[in-house]
Amino acid sequence: MNNVIRKSRLFLVSINIILALFIFQTGFLLKRQEIREKSRCQDAKGGDGAICWAKPQYKRIIVMLIDALRYDFLIPPSHSSHHNYYTGQMKNVYEQLKAGKNCGIGTLIADPPTTTLQRIKALTTGTLPTFIDAGENFSPDAIVNEDNFLYQANSLGMNVSIMGDDTWLSLYPEQFSKAFVHYSFDINDLNTVDDKIKPVFEQEVRESNSSIIIAHFLGVDHCGHKYGPKHPVMADTLRKMDRIIGETLNGMRDDDLLMVIGDHGMTITGDHGGDSDDEVKAGIFVYAKNREIRLPTQPISQIDIVPTISLLLGLPIPFSNLGTAILELFPIEMRESVVAMNYEQIKRFAETYTLQKRFGALYEVTAREVNSMQDQIWAMSRIQRTLRDAWTQFDDSYIIIGNICLIEAILFLLSAQKVSIEWFIVRSGCILLQCALLVDHSESKAANTLLTMALSVSCLSSAISLVSRKLQEGFKIGVADIAFVAVVLHSVSQFSNSFVIYEAMVTRYLIQGVLLASTIANIGNLAKKKSSIWSNRSLQLLVICLAILRSEPYFHRCREEEVDCVQHYPAQIFSSLSVDAQFWRVLFAAISLLGFNYGFHKYFCSPSTCSGSLRILRALSFPIIALISFHSILQVLPNSSFRAVITVQIIYIGSLISVIVAISNGRSGYPFAIQSALWPCFLIVGDGQQPALILYITLIYLATRIVEKDELPALITLLITYGFYFTGHSPAISSIPWHAAFIGISGNSNFRLLSGLLVMINLNISALICATFTVLLGTISIRRVLALMAIRSLFSCFAASVHRRHLMVWKIFAPKFIFENVLFISFITVILLTTIVLRRKNFKLVKPEKYNAFDDEDINKKKKNPA
């Protein structure tokens, strides 16, 4: 029984930590609570059966939504922008702007997160998303239940047509009278969706009786993801959109209004999701045949589209809308009534929200009597600002209990208490209470109280045990203590936004310090033994490690806030490079893979250890490398998606078979199993980061040969973070490697779970590799690594909660919290899986001292009772 309890310690503590992180994020990353009431014609003062809220100004509104149409894509050509492929391409738009006063262009400001699903919801409901809503992009159940202008149009018997992105149909499955949609997640396909919907859209414009026609074009967004905005293909795609706009203008009727809008922008690398200027600023172009219209010169909030479309068609404004109508699109004599109706709708929503959610901060605004047009505009702005603040409220009780759970787990891991049946019962009880908090938020007071009491007792017990053990061992300061301090300093640095922005440099400095301290200590010990050979070897390994550490900037992905950061070609979009740069990048990656393969087999495949099947695996590794390089070339060839998918699937299958064959060879085959599992990883990170991944693996292996076993947990903890940056990642939403989702998977596939797994492998590759090394090296205390990583995770929670009202919380501290803890959870998961699958006692990459790395009880016994 006791043996079972000891074996379960790692699992139970890991579950405690993961649940603690989920409890914290439940309190920190709150979602906006929806109100499902609907606006009615009777809500408007003076509304009757003939006119609902307002007299319709147009019979049809044509919405041409060009995904990722950044504001400057609509800018007319100028001498200063001749070198850009994304400006000066919309000739039909410019001609209309010159011709008359029946059109206008402007800038739409999208509220982050700037992901397509959230933008569609905002453009139809007029509501504001929260930070965590970005996760809904992969949700199979994202149906909108709030009021929206599509529902209102249907309620009044109007027809609504949709073409293009199938996201619309997943959000509104019953609101469209006509739907012609296609799968939208294949970012490598620039033309299929747009080419298929173009003739349908043209026919709808000429013949349809739909009151709202929506055409969602994807080519610009997909071109940005694949090539970036600074590429000739972007110019071709924008010109293609311009031709469609021109054909639409010719096919419009006199009582039509055309709105060409972007849902968001894109960064210089073609990404979006964050809150940089390039991501939140989208373009808008409006046109009416026989009416004088214009747009305001100042930027327009994207949610202002909702009340504008609603009142232009005579529809009730959706109940939860917070946008204000664009007055310039209405006749002058109608503007005062438009503001009044808009104000009454927002006031009605605010009053309902105040009553249902018990949010008193709105009362002083809604209770105030306002009659003039300017006062009503001010009141709407004030309500919107107040509700923005309301939707960034936090559940402090969950934040506190989540942090306490982490503190308790850290103290327990550091104290190395002996396990017992009583401990097992308490730990299991804590897990059940944590689950109760997560499952039923409304009835969590009793669980919260019980959990706090249990954690307090456990914290006190662990603290006493830890202090007692330290007093017995004495307070000797060694390199292991310096390494521990380095981890703590790195953890504390998360309170500074500047240190988070330049975390790669901070981590590199700390790793160099630990390696130098360890090498100096080792040389001192070897000098006493008069071993000059091993001293020289330690210095050689140190120099190699320092050189590898200094190569990280070459593969570094710059984030917006990094001043004077140069992003070298390995971190750039492959398709955006010149042909020569592409050639050298693929060649460099292929040479790196060949060098890795040669070194691996030279070290692990001696004549005495390589059986016949292992020699076959060694021979198969060369065709796999060739296929990986061939896949890189296929990325830039036209109409090669199918061949690329087949190539990757061959690599996946070959790697899987190789892993099975290698494991069947027992202990001697385990290194080959690891190498075989790495081939798909090289494929997923991409050709630009393949040399970085090889250097990173080499760094881990050499560094673990320099430091002593007591220093390894701290070193591994720092290397996980450094590897995150080394392999071309950055803790920003817009830097998530979405391209990895389609490596080996067809663009129209519905296997979103598998696509998400590929993205997670790319994002967390450093944690996956370090976790595997931790298990297989056998010299690293997993308990200590978990404790140190939990410390870093705890401080990321502290930083996020302390800075929750900071200006940069959603730009820096919240993303850092998310990425930090995704790495941690990935590490824990691989640790548990690897110990089960590979059975660590059968194989170790080095020959360590024989001890149980899951806990240090037997180490302590050796110290107390030396042989």
pLDDT of residue 351: 85
SS3 state of residue 286: strand
Specify which of 343-352, 748-757, 785-794 reaches the highest per-range mean pLDDT.
Answer: 785-794
Q: Check: CB of residue 726 under 8 Å from CB of residue 571.
A: no
Mean pLDDT of 156-164: 93
Mean pLDDT of 602-607: 77
Whether residue 471 is predicted with pLDDT greater than 90 in this model: the reply is: no
pLDDT band of residue 778 (cuts 50, 70, 90) is confident
pLDDT of residue 618: 86
Q: Which residues pair with 282 in a beta bridge?
A: 70, 108
pLDDT of residue 427: 82
Whether residue 319 is predicted with pLDDT greater than 80 in this model: the reply is: yes
pLDDT of residue 101: 81
pLDDT of residue 353: 81
Whether residue 859 is predicted with pLDDT greater than 50 in this model: the reply is: no
pLDDT band of residue 170 (cuts 50, 70, 90) is confident
* Residues 401-427 pLDDT 10s: 999 999 999 998 888 777 777 778 888
| CATH 1.10.3720.10 is the classification of domain 52-77+87-131+144-334 | no
* Residues 671-693 pLDDT 10s: 888 899 999 999 999 999 999 99
Number of H helices, E strands in the chain: 32, 8
Whether residue 461 is predicted with pLDDT greater than 80 in this model: the reply is: yes
* Residues 57-92 pLDDT 10s: 999 999 999 999 999 999 877 644 556 788 888 999
Average pLDDT of the chain is 85
pLDDT band of residue 825 (cuts 50, 70, 90) is very high
pLDDT of residue 450: 86
Q: Structure tokens of 532?
A: 């000059």
Q: Check: CB of residue 767 under 8 Å from CB of residue 830.
A: yes
Could you write out the DSSP letters of every residue in 769-821?
HHHHHHHHHS-S-HHHHHHHHHHHHHHHHHHHHHTTTSTTIIIIIHHHHHHHH
pTM listed for this prediction: 0.86
Whether residue 149 is predicted with pLDDT greater than 70 in this model: the reply is: yes
Of the listed ranges 199-213, 262-276, 594-608, 807-821, the one predicted with least confidence: 594-608
As a 3-state breakdown, the chain gives helix, strand, coil percent values, each rounded to 5, of 65, 5, 30
Of the listed ranges 543-557, 662-676, 678-692, the one predicted with least confidence: 662-676
pLDDT of residue 672: 87
pLDDT of residue 141: 57
Whether residue 864 is predicted with pLDDT greater than 50 in this model: the reply is: no
Q: Which helix (H) or strand (E) holds 215?
A: strand 212-217
Distances (CA, A) of 334 to 325, 338, 346, 447, 470: 12, 6, 19, 57, 79
Mean pLDDT of 207-216: 93
pLDDT of residue 867: 38
Mean pLDDT of 161-174: 91
Whether residue 549 is predicted with pLDDT greater than 70 in this model: the reply is: yes
524 residue type, one letter: G
Identify which has the larger pLDDT, 213 or 97. 213
CA angle (444, 450, 452) in 5-degree steps? 95
Specify which of 128-137, 387-396, 739-748, 824-833 reaches the highest per-range mean pLDDT.
Answer: 824-833
Identify which has the larger pLDDT, 468 or 750. 468
Name the residue ranges covered by the structural domains of the chain: 52-77+87-131+144-334, 476-864
pLDDT band of residue 531 (cuts 50, 70, 90) is low
Rounded to whole angstroms, how far apart are CA atoms 609 and 186? 45
Rounded to whole angstroms, how far apart are CA atoms 20 and 683? 34
Mean pLDDT of 477-497: 93
Share of the chain above pLDDT 70, in %: 88
Identify which has the larger pLDDT, 747 or 702. 702
Q: Check: CB of residue 723 under 8 Å from CB of residue 697.
A: no
Could you write out the DSSP letters of every residue in 200-213?
HHHHHHHH---SEE
Q: Structure tokens of 412?
A: 């327990």
- For residue 668, count other CB atoms closer than 10 A to its CB: 17
* Residues 832-857 pLDDT 10s: 888 776 554 444 554 333 334 444 44
CA angle (741, 272, 116) in 5-degree steps? 80
The strand order across the sheet containing 212-217 reads: 178-182, 160-165, 212-217, 60-66, 256-261, 281-288, 103-109, 300-301
pLDDT of residue 27: 87
Q: Check: CB of residue 89 under 8 Å from CB of residue 73.
A: yes
pLDDT of residue 417: 73
Rounded to whole angstroms, how far apart are CA atoms 538 and 152? 74
* CB-count exposure of residue 658 (10 Å: 0-12, 13-18, 19+): buried
